[in-house]
Structure 1
């Protein structure tokens, strides 16, 4: 009998909470700003349905792509083929710069006028000077066009 008396107040309490919740909802619905918002929402339901449809399709596509191991592996392989040569070239340039720096620090000789004239005969120096001359000419042309 004590069990019945403890169950009854609990069900009354739940019912009271439900009534309070319904009254809170009704109080909210009586507010003009809530009614205005609901009216706008109802007017825009077709647009919202279209947006939800598009977002669902985009989500499905993203899920398909995310779960497609073949596509992911292909993209990964393609990216590696693109990046690997660049990385190797950058490592080569960095190694050459380090070696050149070491050589420059180990030599204590002064570069004089005759040393510069001798360097001018080097094909690498000539190629670099031609590039620098062409680059400066292009930059001057572009600056004059402005």
Structure 2
């Protein structure tokens, strides 16, 4: 019994020398919800350690990749090689559209029935009409499929 009294006296003495912040922490630790949370944390420490290891490895990899100038330059070059043809094609289409608009603004002649018949023989017009027809057929098929669902 004297040992428990001595321990209690030691705790009171140590509490008396504690700072207010330390007593706040002790007060927090006495709350049941804090104790329950600590129990959950202790039970999940192996999982948390594993997750920390994975996150650390991921962080290290990202840092290595982010600081590797050769890899960054290679990725940049690869992306440029991929995007350049698309960009060139888009520029060509835009230029053709602008030029066609300019020509259509200057051209004042009326397109009649015989003009349309003559245009129908043009391979580009045929190609465009076939594309439009295929596009409309596919759109109709997809619309039917959606209606059936």
Name the TM-score, length of structure 1 as normaliser. 0.82
Q: Distance in 1 between matches of 2:71 and 2:126?
A: 48
Structure 2 vs 1, CA of residues 142 and 25 (structure 1 numbering), >3 Å: closer, same or farther?
closer
User: What residue is the counterpart of 2:67 in the other structure?
Assistant: 67
User: What residue is the counterpart of 1:12 in the other structure?
Assistant: none
Give, in angstroms, the shift of residue 144 of structure 1. Answer: 4.5
Structure 2 vs 1, CA of residues 38 and 130 (structure 1 numbering), >3 Å: closer, same or farther?
same
Q: How many residues align?
A: 131
User: What residue is the counterpart of 1:102 in the other structure?
Assistant: 102
Runs of 5+ consecutive residues of structure 1 not aligned to the other structure: 1-15
Secondary structure of the 1:66 match is helix
| Deviations 1:65-121 (CA, angstroms, capped at 9, x unpaired) | 111111111110000000011001000000000010111111111111111011111
Q: Distance in 2 between matches of 1:86 and 1:17?
A: 74
Greater shift in the superposed pair: 77-86 or 31-40: 31-40
Hey, which bits of structure 1, 4+ residues long, moved more than 6 A?
none
CA RMSD of aligned residues (A): 1.8
| Deviations 1:2-52 (CA, angstroms, capped at 9, x unpaired) | xxxxxxxxxxxxxx9952122111111111111111111111111110110
User: What residue is the counterpart of 1:50 in the other structure?
Assistant: 50
Q: Distance in 2 between matches of 1:92 and 1:65?
A: 36
Name the TM-score, length of structure 2 as normaliser. 0.80
Secondary structure of the 2:19 match is helix
Give, in angstroms, the shift of residue 130 of structure 1. Answer: 1.9
User: What residue is the counterpart of 2:29 in the other structure?
Assistant: 29
User: What residue is the counterpart of 1:125 in the other structure?
Assistant: 125
